[in-house]
Every structure is written in structure tokens, then in C-alpha cells.
Amino acid sequence: MGTVLVAGGTLIDRGTRTQADILVRDGTVARVGPDLRASADRVIDATGLCVLPGVIDVHTHPVYVDDLQSLPVTAAHGGVTTVIHYAYAKPGTRLLDALGAFREEAESVSLLDFALHGGLFDPQRQSGEIPAAVAAGVTSFKMFMTYAKLGWMTDDYQLMRTLDILARAGGMGMVHAENGLATDYLEDACNEAGLSPVETFVRTRPAALEAEAVGRAIAMAEVAGCPLYIPHVSAARALDVITAARRSGRRVYAETCPQYLTLTNCDLLEKKALLKIGPPLREDGDREALWQGLACGTLDVVASDHAAKDKRADDDFFAAPYGSPQAETMLPLVHDGVAHGRLSLERMVRVFSENPARIFGLYPKKGTLAPGSDADLALFDAGARTQIERASQHSRASYTAYEGRSVVGAVVLTMQRGRVLAERGETSARPGGAQFLATAAGRADVRELG
Ligand SMILES: [Zn+2]
């Protein structure tokens, strides 16, 4: 595979910023230091650019218009080098069958190394398979505390039972934390009152019911002795509950997503079905609290929740599916916050790379650029001002949530294990060659995360 020298860039890694070249040999980092002057088969000039460990996007849904082949491509253009997909085991499906099918297909078509979360739609029948899944390298499992009408909700009995199984198997619980039955009642009441669908949506998924579900899940995880990961935290009140639990020593990790940092329910009123996501977009005060949580370390991870669907703004709101394309715009959008002083560049790298690697047990193979690590990196122009447009995106979705938005920062090149995948908007590698990564989720001490 040969040698690659990434020369002249500013390396942002493990909380520090240094002028450093990186010598890559056979896909792994061989040497890191200033002015290496090593000879190499290929030299990549990174003068004036930041060199970041590749983004680990731990929240992706490759089962809609972006699939196991196209999702990693759009993600790679956003500086992502590792994805953790939700492998959903729908009712009537065996968990191990679902995981096996995802793994097999991703190994043959994916551009990016990947791990899997198990998505439990029927824990009553599926949770018994958790120990075998853990042995096969899948160690994080998500349940829905909402979507009762869709038949996806896990009740407290099965949630408690599954967290108990996870604790004994050495796995980690994850929950979509919103109170599903309370939401369903509110929705029925609003429909009777004749409110508009968007108004109904916002009123029936209030922050209080996210905070309540977060607290309930944390309590059950404490009783079970099981680590817990809360994806897509959207509300200040939910973050307060998590922060208090962490202060009292609970192993609870928290993630937010770029959409909750950059959009509010005012955008939802304008773009309607395009911005139908769950939990919903919230108030400006929530957005501010999430940026603060990222800066001060109560939020550990930013991930995309990329779930690209074909939608139009005026689609029937309640019939429209949840989700939006996010993986490619995630890094520039969060970096725009860095450019505006909301958090440091060093901290941004931690929430995108180091922390996810530590929480899911992929560190230091992934999430850093130390000698011996996989040579997964992104070259990033921190001074470039670009405009986000659907036309320049690589997602198969028909829109971006950020059309016309100007951001500071652009991904110039993405490399995985020494192989250049994407460069200035052009895909330079063929899909395939991805490695399945066994995780060891939930072992990292919350206080040791950066
Ligand atoms: Zn999701």
C-alpha cells in the first residue's frame, strides 16, 4: 500500500494544536512530528490546512434514500471516516439476523469502516439475543420510549429487563427518550381541537416530556447497573437531567446533532415537512444551552442522525417521514460555531472523534492520529467561507435543511487507512473495502472524556 506524507498542516488532536507532518505506512500512522522530511510514495501538501482525526459519526440510518452504499459516500465528503449504523431489527425479525445482514452488505459496498448498534423494535422477543450479539462485536442497543402509535415503543417492563440483560452481558443501553404515551394523548387532544399539523407536532412533543423520559431511563439504568447513552439530546431541560446524573457519578453519555445546534422550531414553521425530525427542533434557548453543553463538556458527542428521505415542504405533515440528511454538512456547521467563538477547535475534534472512539471502545485505533492508529483523517480549511447548497451535496436526498446558509470551514480531503476517499467534492475511491469494527461500548469513565 506504500507510504503517504501529509506535510505542513496544523494537527488538532487530543486537545492540542501542533505543527506536525504525518507519515502513513500501510494504512496506519507511522510517525508524527514537525518537519519529518521523510520520503513517501505520495506527498499531500496540507500547508494552511488543519489536519483532524476523521469524524466518527455514531448515529446513521442507512436504510432510506441513502443506503449502506451511498450514506458513507456523502459522509466521507463531510470528513467522516467511520460510521456506526443503527441496524434495526423490526418486529418479527431476529436481532442476530438483522445484524448479520447489515454487516454482510456493508462489508461489500461501504466506503467507510463501520460498527453497528442493535435497534430493538421488539425487546420482548429480541433481548434474549443480546449476549450473542455482544460476543459478535455489537455492544450498544437502542430502544424507543416513544412512537407508541407506530408500535415501536418499549414499555418500562421491557426497558428494565433489557437494561438488566445488557448490564450482565457487558453492553450499553441507548434510548430515544420522549414519553410516547403522553405524546399520543396530547396529539389526540390537539387533533380534536383542530390545530394545524405543525402546531400540533410542536405542542405534543414538549421538552418536559423529553426530560422526563431521560430521567426515567437514567433511573432504570442506575438500578440495572448499566451504562446509558442518550442520542439526539435536543432540550436544555433534558441536558440538565443528564448533567445532574453525571455529577452523582452515573455513567451516562450524551449526544446532540447539528440540527439542534443550528435550527429552531421557527425554521420548522417555514420548512415544515422537510424539518420533521424527532425529537423536534426546539427554542433558541435550547440551542444556546446545547452549544454551552458542548463547550463545557456535559455533551460528549455530536453525531448526524442522518436519515435521508425524499420530502417536500408541503407534504402532508403527519404522513411525512421523520429524518433529514445531515452527515455531509455536520462538520462545517459545527465548525461555523467554532469560528463564532462558541467552542474551541480542540474541543470540536474531541466531540467528533476522540470521545465517540472512547465511548464505543474504538480508541486509539480510531479517534486519534497517534503512531499505530489507523490513518483516518480530514484536511480542513478553517478559513474558507462556503455556501451550503443541495446541488453540491452527495446525498441522494432531494434537499438540504440548510439551503443557502453560509458557513466558515470546508472539508478539503478525507483519508481512511491511508487511502484518499474524497477530495474537494470529488469521490476518489470506489465503494467497498470497509472493515467491520467490533465495539466495546460504555466502558469509558465519563470524567475521563475530553
Ligand atoms: Zn436516529
Residue 90: name the closest of 8, 167, 151 by CA.
151
Distance 177 CA to ligand 1 centre (A): 11
Computed from CA positions of residues 390, 395, 399, 403, in that sequence, does the dihedral angle turn out positive or negative?
A: negative
Distance 310 CA to ligand 1 centre (A): 16
Question: Quick check: 75 and 328 in contact, CB under 8 A?
Answer: yes
| Band (431; pLDDT cuts 50, 70, 90) | confident
Q: Which pLDDT value is given to residue 274? A: 96
CA distances from 149 to 119, 199, 211 (A): 18, 19, 21
In tens, the pLDDT along 125-137 reads 999 999 999 999 9
Distance 21 CA to ligand 1 centre (A): 37
Q: Is the pLDDT of residue 433 over 90?
A: no
CATH class of the domain comprising 3-50+373-383+407-427: mainly beta
| Band (397; pLDDT cuts 50, 70, 90) | very high
In tens, the pLDDT along 53-92 reads 999 999 999 999 999 999 999 999 999 999 999 999 999 9
Question: Quick check: 365 and 37 in contact, CB under 8 A?
Answer: no
Distance 431 CA to ligand 1 centre (A): 24
Q: Which pLDDT value is given to residue 52? A: 98
Q: Is the pLDDT of residue 238 over 90?
A: yes
Q: State the pTM of this model.
A: 0.98
Assigned C-alpha cell, 107: 462489508
55-361, CATH topology level: TIM Barrel (3.20.20)
Strand partners, 60: 85, 306
151: left (phi over 0), alpha (psi -120 to 50) or beta: left
* C-alpha span between 346 and 337 (Å, rounded): 13
In tens, the pLDDT along 179-194 reads 999 999 999 999 899 8
| Band (37; pLDDT cuts 50, 70, 90) | confident
Q: Which pLDDT value is given to residue 178? A: 98
Domains in the chain: boundaries = 3-50+373-383+407-427, 55-361
| Band (19; pLDDT cuts 50, 70, 90) | very high
Distance 306 CA to ligand 1 centre (A): 7
Assigned C-alpha cell, 244: 445532574
* Relative orientation angle of helices 207-224 and 236-247, to the nearest 10 degrees: 20
Q: Is the pLDDT of residue 251 over 90?
A: yes
